Amino acid sequence: MSKKVFFLKITRIVLCVILLSSCGDVKERPPKLTTTEVTAITINTAIAVGYITDAGIPAYTERGVCYATFSSPKIDGEKVVVTGTGTGEYIANLAGLTHNTKYYVRAYATNSNGTVYGNEVSFTTLIDPVASKQMTITMQPLASVKIKIGGSGTMTINWGDGKESETHTLKTYTGMLDDNRYFYSYSGSTPRIVTISGQNITHIRFEDNGTYILTELDVRYNTSLMFLYCCKHQLRGLDVSGNTNLYSLSIRSNNLSSPALNSLFESLHDNDFDKGIDISFNPGTDNCNKKIAENKGWSVYAY
C-alpha cells in the first residue's frame, strides 16, 4: 500500500470520527418565549397570551401561564397549562379571579432541563359593582363638583379623568350633610362618568349650586344607602330597586316625566322606616300616579 493511499484512508477515518462525535454532541438549550399581553379582562376572568420563539432542545413538554397577586409568579402556584407543541402563540384562559385586584402573569415552558419564564405582565380585574356597592354618576361639570357623602369605613372615588381612584375614610352622618367634613370635590369642566364605591355609604347629597349638571345616576348596588338628595339636575330616570334601606329621597327640579316617576315609585321598597320622597317641579309631577309610592308607606311631596 502506498503512503498516499494509506494517508487518504487515515484522513477518512479521522473525518468520520469527527463527524460522528459532532453528531452525538448536540447542545441542549432552553425554550425561549415571551408574555405578550392580557386581554378580555372582566371582574373575574382574563385571557393571557404567550409566544414561543424557540421550542428548545429537547423540546418543551409543558407550556402555559402562571399568575399571582404578587410579582414573579411560578408554576408551583396558580397556573394554566396549554396543550400544544412547537413555536408560535398560545392562549390561556384565566378564571376564578378576584374583582378589582392586580395580578402578575408570566408565560412559561418546561423541558427536561427545567422551566423558563417569559417577561412579566400585570393587569387589574374590573370592579364588581354589586360586591363593591358601586354608584355610577354621569355628569357635566361646569366649574367644579362637590359631593357630600356620609357613612362609615372607607370609600373610593374615581373622578373619570384617567387618574387613579382616591380612597377616603368616611365620616359618620350626624346631621344634614352641611358640615364640610362630608365634602369631596373635583375641579374640571369636561363630561365624565364618576364612580363611587364603599360598603357603608349611607348618605349622599349632590349639590344643586349650578356648578355641575348630573344627567344619569345608578345607585342600585348600594344596599346601605338611606338618604339621597339630587335636586336641580337633569335626571330622566332613577331606579332604587336595590336600595332596601332608603328612607329619604329628594329629586326636585329634575327632568322626570310621569312614566319615569311611576317607574321610580315601582322600584321603591316598603321598609320599616318613616319614608319620604320629594318629586316637586318635575315635568311629570302633576300627572304621575303617587298612589304607587303611598301604598308602600311613602309620603310623597309634590309642589
- Are 212 and 189 spatial neighbours (Cβ–Cβ below 8 Å)? no
Using the predicted structure, report yes or no on whether residue 18 has a pLDDT greater than 60. no
pLDDT over threshold 90, residue 27: no
Could you tell me the domains of the chain?
A: 32-124 (2.60.40.10), 135-301 (no CATH)
Q: What is the pLDDT of residues 204-215, one digit of tens each?
A: 998 887 888 899
Range with lowest mean pLDDT among 57-66, 129-138, 291-300: 129-138
DSSP per-residue letters across 142-207: SSEEEEEEEESSEEEEE-SSSSPPEEEEPPPP-SSS-SGGGEEEEE--S-EEEEEEETTEEEEEE-
Report, as an integer, the average pLDDT of 170-179.
67
How many angstroms separate the CA atoms of 11 and 134, rounded? 83
Q: In what order do the strands lie in the sheet with 248-250?
A: 183-187, 144-151, 201-206, 227-230, 248-250, 275-278, 298-301
What band does 162 get if pLDDT is binned at 50, 70 and 90? confident
Q: What does the H/E/C string look like for 64-83?
A: EEEEECCCCCCCCCEEEECC
- Contact between 122 and 103 under an 8 Å Cβ cutoff? The reply is yes
Say how far apart CA 254 and CA 235 lie, in whole Å: 5
Q: Can you give the pLDDT at residue 232? A: 92
- The partner residues of 145 in beta bridges, in order of sequence, read 186
Spatial strand order of the sheet with 166-169 comes to 166-169, 154-158, 192-198, 135-141, 212-218
| Segment 217-240 mean pLDDT | 93
Model confidence pLDDT, tens digit, residues 269-301: 988 889 999 999 999 999 999 999 999 999 999
What's the grid cell of residue 298?
311613602
Residue 109, amino acid: A
Tens of pLDDT, residues 238-261: 999 999 999 999 999 999 999 999
**Greatest distance between any 2 Cα atoms in the chain:** 127
| Mean pLDDT over each residue of the chain, to the nearest integer | 88
DSSP state of 152: S
Distance CA 214, CA 158 (A): 16
